[in-house]
Chain A
Amino acid sequence: MGFVYKTEEFNKVLEALESKYRIFAPVLKVGEGRFRDTDVIRYDYISRIEDAELEERSDFSFKEILMPLSETMFYFTEDEIKEADYDARPVIVLMRSCDIHAVKRLDQMYTGNGPANDWFYERLRDRVKFALIGCGKACPNSFCVDMGSNKTDEYAFSIDMIDGKVYCDVKDKEMLAAFEGAGGAKDNVEPRFVTEAEFRVERPEEVTVELFKDPMWDEYTKRCVNCGRCNFVCPTCTCFTIQDIFYTDNGRVGERRRVNASCMVDGYTDVAGGLVMRKTNGERMRFKVLHKVYDFRKRFGYDMCVGCGRCDTVCPEYISFANCINKLNARVKEVSANV
């Protein structure tokens, strides 16, 4: 069901929703960027729609709501082991179509890979619903259209802010009362989706073992500085490392936590005794890229990458993921033609 609101009216919708939900949305943080006098768009809780950044893509994705950068799993006190508490209040997350597609990848990894589900993920996932931010324009470095993530109908409601008016398509029946009581006009509303992204990519269907050792990856050994930013901004990266600590004031008390891990950063493959599986950044790039556009698909039937373009934007060495996919595809064709 569709509604059109003035901004103030829509804030009444949010106010009504806030009786049950907290609203988590991209927010422009002025002056909080990596460098002096730079801004950053990060997720935060809002009460008014003006506080949300609806035009530009967020620099960091929504995923911290489902997999916090650092998440305490257990507290250890003397002989007692206690599961860490969490905030069980329901949350509505405002996100773009690509990110809603990314949630499917997170669900796949944490609740659809192997016999056991991830208990800590499930309990956070259970309390979250998604609202769609319509896309009026393609994001910088995006290639969502070719990754098939530019459109979705999996949302509780949609938000398109056009000329000061908020257009909503509401699918979640439980939330309908909040929308009906805010005074907006009923109308047929379709959320906006882009049909042309900034970049086109062509993915290889089959990647043979020879490509794993191909010299095409050497370029990234030279360029990449393995800072891992691409992993941390990626809405589909799910890796983590479990770490134990004890408190220096009292060694009888400590905790076990998991922190986001990066397959580009040193230490990811270290095993006891000193063996390291992938030493060069080119090998690490190959490991990451093939996971996103090949290995994951081989296992689950669809690609992991959603083409949001965040990794391109954040890379300090201007490495383009979209370019890399196209280079890989060209190389696959070249190699198979020479066989």
Chain B
Amino acid sequence: MCNCGKNEYTPVPSKLQDIIKHTAQEWTFRFTYVGDVKPGQFFQISIPKVGECPISVSGIGPDYVDLTLRAVGKVTDYLFENFKAGDSLFLRGPYGNGFDVHEFEGGELIIVVGGTAVSPVRGVVQYLCETECAKDVHMIAGFKDPGEIMFKADLKDWAEKIDLTLTVDGAPEGYAGKVGLVTKYIPDIPIRDISKCKAIVVGPPPMIRFSMIELVKRGLSEDNVWISDSRRMSCGIGKCGHCRINDKYVCIDGPVFKFSEHKTLID
């Protein structure tokens, strides 16, 4: 018989502790998990006879991980329709490099996120909120409209600790908050030393592209920017090939990349 070690493909049972509903289409599933995990890493949610899908970690607790998903595919639709807190499901992971939170300690940091992309950076923000440098964190979070705003409780909490700009692309008349694309607010971020400032930019590709234009205008170095990419990995462990871009595999070399490196990767 083969002495092949651990089978990484084997789904591991995990009890669903809670479901937090942000919008009709975006829910956070709290899965029981004890072990090492970093913000920006991802898990394969595994539903026997339905399939697997890679989802990034949006929260880390002592005995759980939060996975926030949008119902847009076969597996996610099935999850939304068939499960409730207390049910047992399967996971495998965590996979990928994730964010190194210590990288962002002790200096000025700009975070630009759009929509569900709050998920991979949520753990970073939570960590920095508890440090002395929280005041130097400038976060711009953009959502499509007021109804699409996710992680409302977090945003409220963060607003007291960091410099948070919450904006929506468009809103009905009479909306009290900020309106406009995230790029609109980048020129106004107060930065003392742009040469040492770091940034995390996560969101849809066009948002990243235009945010980078604004950030570079401010004098930010592309070497100081981190982004998080996503692909539809089958394996999550560098074998199936679906997430390869040039000589990099998003699942093992990413999903977190330095922007200066990522911009040379062409799909």
Most chain B beta-carbon neighbours within 10 Å: one of A74, A110, A116? A116
Inter-chain contact A110/B234, CB cutoff 8 Å: no
Contact bitstring A267-299, B, C-beta under 8 A = 1, else 0: 011111100011000010001001100011011
Q: How far is the CA of A148 from the CA of B65 in the complex (A)?
A: 49
Inter-chain contact B73/A123, CB cutoff 8 Å: no
Inter-chain contact B234/A123, CB cutoff 8 Å: no
Can you list 8 A-B contacts with CB-CB less than 8 angstroms, sorted by A residue number? A74-B10, A114-B251, A123-B2, A123-B4, A242-B235, A256-B48, A271-B230, A273-B70
Inter-chain contact B4/A269, CB cutoff 8 Å: no
> How far apart are B173's CB and chain A's nearest CB, in angstroms?
30
Of the candidate stretches B121-129, B209-217, B237-245, the one touching chain A is B237-245
Tell yes or no: A229 within 8 A of B by CB: no
Inter-chain contact B239/A113, CB cutoff 8 Å: yes
Please give, as numbers and ranges, the residues of chain A lying within 8 Å of B252 by CB-CB distance.
113-115
Determine the main DSSP class of B at the interface with A: loop
Inter-chain contact A119/B247, CB cutoff 8 Å: no
Which listed residue, A74, A109, A243, touches B48 by the CB 8 Å rule? A74
Inter-chain contact B7/A83, CB cutoff 8 Å: yes
Contact bitstring B1-40, A, C-beta under 8 A = 1, else 0: 1111111111100000000000000000000000000000
Inter-chain contact A244/B51, CB cutoff 8 Å: yes
Please give, as numbers and ranges, the residues of chain A lying within 8 Å of B1 by CB-CB distance.
88
Inter-chain contact A241/B242, CB cutoff 8 Å: yes
Tell yes or no: B52 within 8 A of A by CB: yes
Contact bitstring B244-263, A, C-beta under 8 A = 1, else 0: 10111101100000000000
Q: How many residue pairs at the A-B interface have CB separations less than 8 Å?
A: 137
Tell yes or no: B153 within 8 A of A by CB: no
Q: What is the total number of residues of chain B having a CB less than 8 Å from a CB of chain A? A: 45
Contact bitstring A57-88, B, C-beta under 8 A = 1, else 0: 00000000000000001101000010100001
Tell yes or no: B176 within 8 A of A by CB: no
Determine the main DSSP class of A at the interface with B: mixed
Inter-chain contact A240/B48, CB cutoff 8 Å: no
Which listed residue, A81, A269, A272, touches B72 by the CB 8 Å rule? A272
Which listed residue, A238, A245, A270, A295, touches B49 by the CB 8 Å rule? A245
Tell me the B residues contacting A by CB distance below 8 Å: 1-11, 47-53, 70, 72-74, 76, 90, 230-232, 234-235, 237-242, 244, 246-249, 251-252, 264, 266-267
Please give, as numbers and ranges, the residues of chain B lying within 8 Å of A271 by CB-CB distance.
230-232
Q: Which are the 9 A-B pairs with shortest beta-carbon distances?
A: A114-B238, A272-B73, A239-B241, A254-B49, A123-B2, A119-B7, A114-B252, A76-B48, A212-B266
Please give, as numbers and ranges, the residues of chain B lying within 8 Å of A242 by CB-CB distance.
51-52, 234-235, 240
Please give, as numbers and ranges, the residues of chain B lying within 8 Å of A251 by CB-CB distance.
49
Q: How far is the CA of A116 from the CA of B235 in the complex (A)?
A: 11
Q: Quick one: given A110-B239, A113-B238, are A244 and B4 in contact (CB under 8 Å)?
A: no
Please give, as numbers and ranges, the residues of chain B lying within 8 Å of A243 by CB-CB distance.
51
Which listed residue, B72, B241, B248, touches A263 by the CB 8 Å rule? B241
| Closest B residue to A76 using CB positions | B48
Inter-chain contact A109/B239, CB cutoff 8 Å: yes
Please give, as numbers and ranges, the residues of chain B lying within 8 Å of A268 by CB-CB distance.
242
Most chain A beta-carbon neighbours within 10 Å: one of B1, B3, B230, B247? B247
Please give, as numbers and ranges, the residues of chain B lying within 8 Å of A110 by CB-CB distance.
239
Please give, as numbers and ranges, the residues of chain A lying within 8 Å of B235 by CB-CB distance.
118, 240, 242
> How far apart are A214's CB and chain B's nearest CB, in angstroms?
11
Instruction: Beyond the given A110-B239, A114-B251, please list 14 additional residue pairs across the A-B interface where CB-CB is below 8 A.
Output: A81-B11, A113-B249, A116-B8, A116-B237, A120-B7, A120-B9, A122-B2, A212-B266, A251-B49, A256-B48, A268-B242, A283-B267, A295-B244, A296-B247
